[in-house]
């Protein structure tokens, strides 16, 4: 849970893998599952994703889950386990969630799995799997099926990417040093955001030295940020949230394909307190003050933007990497007891139908 922001901003790092690498993401998921052992229930946050224009939700693009589980990690050759947090992010369009074949205007079935140390939040492992087919009425068709692996768990930075459409692979990523350094500074970034949220320091501005590096077309592009307090209506009512606008830094190379991004966050303890999930509230009570929860996020488009909104929070037990349907198709107010995961999945199927 403490590393959710780290998962939404993409904590990446890279160098090279061995010459021959498996070319299916299932291999890397099994590797993560074999190395990770959970010690606490999984925190599950559900989001609706819409295309918005002129403040109106015009199209449901996808549902998303962010699942965070605290546990331990065993690196290859290590004799001791490392306390860590596993973050599992799933993004599915309605067609993908109900098992329909690829096609239509929007098909999304993507996933990110990240493992970070606790409490330092240094990146150990990051797996990004993208399966997207976008065929808009206006504009060009875009078909993407690939995966990227970033492994720091053995002490050596390793990167591997494979395109499942044309079968090509690469171990090169421009700006790997910057992204590797960022992967070891997650705790500093989250502490900085928490200090701004709790007004222990002043706001962030694009002129400050605060930078986030993002992989854009195999290049690590620096992004700057601007923060401000903003009252928003979100999950459970009104929040005095921290708004963070992220944009390409002034030193970013020209011509890179980038989009502006805005996220509204609040204290995990405050958000959990608006539910009736006692297990969730116990976990929140044990989370440091810098634990934050994304409430809303906007991703800029050429026209309009993509809006991601928190609609449900709960906890579950079991395999933290088990395949599951996105459970956020039906929004709930925190005044209602949070249903179990199985019931949420049934509600999702009914809503889709």
**Mean pLDDT on 104-118:** 87
Q: What CA–CA distance (Å, rounded) separates 24 from 125?
A: 16
Q: Buried (b) or exposed (e) across 242-272, using 16+ Cβ within 10 A?
A: bbbbbbbbeebeeeeebbebbbbbbbbbebb
Q: Which residue has the higher pLDDT, 342 or 184?
A: 184
pTM over 0.85: no
* pLDDT value at residue 6: 42
Spatial neighbors of 222 by CB under 8 A, at least 6 apart, are: 178, 211, 212, 213, 248, 249, 251, 252
Is the predicted pLDDT of residue 187 greater than 70, yes or no? no
Domain residue spans of the chain? 4-352
* Other beta carbons less than 10 A from residue 24's beta carbon: 11
Give the number of C-alpha atoms closer than 13 A to the C-alpha of residue 341, restricted to the C-beta side: 19
Per-residue pLDDT of 237-249, as tens digits, reads 899 999 998 888 8
Query: 1 pLDDT exceeds 80?
Result: no
How many angstroms separate the CA atoms of 145 and 164, rounded?
Answer: 5
- Whether the CA torsion 18, 19, 20, 25 is positive or negative: it is positive
**Nearest alpha carbon to residue 47 among 17, 28, 67, 69:** 67
Hey, how many other C-beta atoms are within 10 angstroms of the C-beta on 323? 8
Q: From CA 120, how far away is CA 289, in angstroms rounded?
A: 14
Determine the Cα–Cα distance for residues 92 and 126; give it in Å rounded to an integer.
19
Q: Residue range 269-283: average pLDDT?
A: 89
Confidence (pLDDT) at 178: 58
On the question of pLDDT at 85 being above 60, the answer is yes
Alpha helices in the chain (DSSP H): 4-8, 25-35, 94-97, 176-183, 186-197, 268-272, 278-285, 341-352
């Amino acid at each position: 849970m403490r590393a959710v922001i780290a998962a939404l901003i993409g904590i990446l790092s890279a160098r090279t893998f061995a010459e021959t690498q498996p070319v299916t993401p299932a291999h890397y998921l099994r590797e993560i599952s074999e190395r990770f052992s959970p010690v606490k229930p999984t925190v599950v946050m559900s989001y609706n994703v819409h295309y918005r224009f002129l403040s109106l939700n015009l199209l449901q693009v996808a549902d998303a889950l962010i699942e965070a589980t605290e546990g331990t990690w065993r690196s290859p050759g290590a004799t001791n386990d490392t306390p860590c947090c596993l973050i599992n992010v799933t993004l599915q369009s309605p067609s993908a969630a109900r098992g329909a074949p690829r096609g239509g205007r929007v098909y999304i079935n993507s996933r990110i799995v990240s493992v970070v140390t606790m409490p330092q939040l240094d990146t150990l492992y990051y797996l990004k799997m993208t399966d997207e087919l976008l065929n808009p009425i206006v504009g060009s068709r875009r078909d993407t099926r690939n995966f990227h692996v970033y492994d720091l768990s053995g002490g050596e930075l390793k990167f591997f990417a494979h395109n499942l459409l044309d079968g090509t692979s690469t171990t090169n990523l421009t700006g790997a040093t910057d992204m590797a350094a960022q992967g070891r500074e997650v705790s500093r970034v989250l502490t900085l955001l928490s200090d701004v949220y709790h007004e222990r320091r002043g706001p962030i501005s694009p002129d400050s030295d605060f930078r986030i590096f993002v992989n854009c077309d195999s290049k690590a592009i620096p992004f700057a940020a601007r923060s401000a307090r903003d009252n928003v209506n979100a999950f459970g009512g009104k929040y005095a949230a921290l708004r963070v606008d992220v944009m390409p830094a002034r030193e970013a190379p020209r011509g890179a394909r980038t989009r502006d991004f805005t996220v509204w966050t609040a204290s995990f303890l405050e958000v959990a307190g608006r539910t009736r999930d006692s297990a969730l509230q116990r976990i929140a009570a044990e989370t440091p003050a810098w634990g934050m929860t994304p409430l809303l996020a906007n991703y800029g488009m050429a026209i309009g933007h993509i809006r991601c909104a928190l609609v449900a929070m709960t906890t579950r037990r079991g395999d933290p990497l088990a395949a599951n349907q996105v459970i956020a198709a039906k929004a709930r107010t925190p005044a209602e007891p949070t249903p179990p995961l199985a019931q949420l999945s049934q509600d999702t199927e009914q809503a889709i139908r």
